[in-house]
Structure 1
Amino acid sequence: MKRWVITSMLALIGGWLGFMTSFPLGPLLGSLLMIAIVQIKTNKLPPLPKKAKRIIQMLLGGSIGLTFSQETFSILSTVWLPALLLPLLQISGALLLALFLKKVLKFDTLTAVCSSAPAGMTEMIVLAEKYPVSVPTVVTLHLFRLMLIVSVMPFLIYYLFIR
């Protein structure tokens, strides 16, 4: 139990540092990087128990659920076509990328699919843990995807639409 408290404290410190940077997703990336750095340097942090992971997922789900309102569903009639096209295009692109990872970079099929899926890192890691998938590969590719999106998108939005 004591070791999980240390992990939690490190995550909170990293999250706070990330928050202080005002970087988009700073708290998430800060805690992730803090834990990753300590784990790489010491390799002594214990994995969280499955119950703790499930509780964290429930809290994240609840937090996301709080963003929904009547307005969310009232605009559905005006956005139904993009709401259908976006995931279909994302899935198609992810499958093409998975095919590239498999054929060109010689990834196994499940790792390629989990690594390229247009889902959240948390969800893909949970899936990867349940199947014979290279979890470190999935984590690394999703981390770089997330960091690239968070660092590049503000500039693209600014230079393409605001400037």
Structure 2
Amino acid sequence: MTFMAALVGGLIGHYLKFPAGEMVGAMVCVGAMNIFEAEPQMPKLLNIGAQIIIGGFLGLDITSDVLVELKHYAVPALLVVVILAIFGIVTGFVVNILTGIDLYTSLFGSVPGGMQEMIILSQSYKVNHVAVLTIQTVRRVLIVIIYPLLLILVSKATKTQIASNSK
């Protein structure tokens, strides 16, 4: 029953094109079951299987082209990782101090990595997974809305233009 609720919720989220809609939709449907005391359960083996499958999908992005380009972009990539990690940690501490949210929940919610990856990684720790999912979802939606506006501001401030792929 729980798996069917997750499947239906995931398909609805996918169809509605929500950010990470499959994960959010499944979570909402199973969460609703929990709220209405239906006592949903999932075998631990499915969680392990889901993480293995997601790891496989992430591995699909590692190609020979990526390895060839790595020599050109290794230093910038490492610089980005270090800077974002530092800002993520600082943000996590600030959010923890200002809101009282558990520190490690705040750190997982503040990390600027891929939303799905961070939520799955957070499952390996005792943190508030609903809070991590909520913070990451809001972050992702707002970035999709705000970042293009910031690019316009950068374009105007630097008197340069960013090329568009739209036809």
TM-score tier by shorter-chain length is 0.7 to 0.9
Q: Separation in 2 of the partners of 1:20 and 1:136?
A: 22
- Name the amino acid aligned to 1:26: G
Aligned to 1:39: 34
The RMSD of aligned alpha carbons is 2.9
Q: Separation in 1 of the partners of 2:24 and 2:50?
A: 16
Aligned length: 152
| 8 Å contact kept, 2:119–2:129 | no
Is the alpha carbon distance of 1:134 and 1:32 closer, same or farther for their aligned partners in structure 2, counting shifts above 3 Å? closer
- Report the Cα offset of residue 23 of structure 1: 4.7
| 8 Å contact kept, 1:128–1:134 | no
- Report the Cα offset of residue 83 of structure 1: 0.9
Decide which structure has greater helix share. Answer: 1
Is the alpha carbon distance of 1:45 and 1:147 closer, same or farther for their aligned partners in structure 2, counting shifts above 3 Å? farther
| Superposition TM-score, scaled by structure 2 size | 0.71
- Report the Cα offset of residue 55 of structure 1: 1.0
Is the alpha carbon distance of 1:19 and 1:86 closer, same or farther for their aligned partners in structure 2, counting shifts above 3 Å? same
1:26 corresponds to 2:18: no
1:17 corresponds to 2:17: no
Aligned to 1:3: none
Identity %: 24
Is the alpha carbon distance of 1:9 and 1:108 closer, same or farther for their aligned partners in structure 2, counting shifts above 3 Å? closer
Q: Separation in 2 of the partners of 1:66 and 1:16?
A: 23
- Report the Cα offset of residue 22 of structure 1: 4.1
Runs (5+) with no aligned partner, structure 2:
153-161
1:127 corresponds to 2:121: no
1:56 corresponds to 2:53: no
Is the alpha carbon distance of 1:110 and 1:88 closer, same or farther for their aligned partners in structure 2, counting shifts above 3 Å? same
Q: Separation in 1 of the partners of 2:18 and 2:101?
A: 33
- Report the Cα offset of residue 53 of structure 1: 0.8
Q: Separation in 2 of the partners of 1:145 and 1:24?
A: 10
| Superposition TM-score, scaled by structure 1 size | 0.73
Runs (5+) with no aligned partner, structure 1:
1-5
Match for 2:96 among 96, 99, 102? Answer: 102
